[in-house]
Amino acid sequence: MMNIILLFFFLASSTQVAISITPDHIFLLAGQSNMVGYGGIGINGRWDGIIPPDCQSSPYIFRLDRALCWSQAKEPLHADIYLREKLAGVGPSMPFARRILELRPGYRTIGLVPCAYGGTTMDQWLKNYSHGEPSTINLYNNLIRRAMASQRTGGRLAGLIWWQGGADAKDSTIAQQYGKKLERFFSDVRQDLRRPNLPIILIVIPKGRPLKDEKLINKIRRAQLQMNNTITNMVVFDPPKKLTYQPDHVHVSTPSQVLVGRELAELFCNAGSYYC
């Protein structure tokens, strides 16, 4: 049940007022840049500031900020979570949350916990990883810390959304090992959160991108598409080929981030009552 301790509102200047709240259903967001959301980021490295209707703030959607406090969620959702991660634009999480509330009004409120970091490999997300970039933080420990903090006053951990893999498609041996590492990561997260049946929502690397490393991308894709053969309570989402990209042909455009988020929510809710 929603436990609002202090109501909130926006002043005329659009300055956000700090709030204390426990969202009913909480989703962890982890992975690399497309999970962060680079929609609308130009070649100059700046976000264009365009927020589609499906990504607008809602009084029923909240974000756990860097200080581990809840505030009303707004794009860019991953802004300021990491000091060294400067880029953030539109991602799939806001349209996902808004669509969930459309499909399941009984969810009442949703909390989003941004933890993704651009350019990171599977190794960098493994438990006990201790070297290399990002050198200022252990991504796994940060994910667990933020997940635990998000539930400190209640709320239900409803799932982990994972979108990653491109950084591992640069070496044949690394790509070959990807599946085992991802399986271990999911198992460790569930164990450390004491949630052996935590729903996992896996977004597969999109197919059809004009990249030179297509064979390696396909190795990662195969491992991801087969992951629910070994991991229970998992939803595997293979994005449609009609996605459009930023000029770098790697990062998904704003309209396609909206498409991914909405279709992901529909798949999640259609997976059964356990999930949604």
Query: What is the set of active-site residues?
Result: 33, 248, 251
45 Cα distance to chain centroid: 21
The structure tokens listed for 94 are 């806001």
How far is residue 254 CA from its own chain's centroid?
A: 15
CA dist., res. 97 & res. 260, Å (int) = 12
Strands (E), the chain: 3-4, 21-22, 25-31, 61-64, 70-72, 110-114, 156-163, 200-203, 234-237
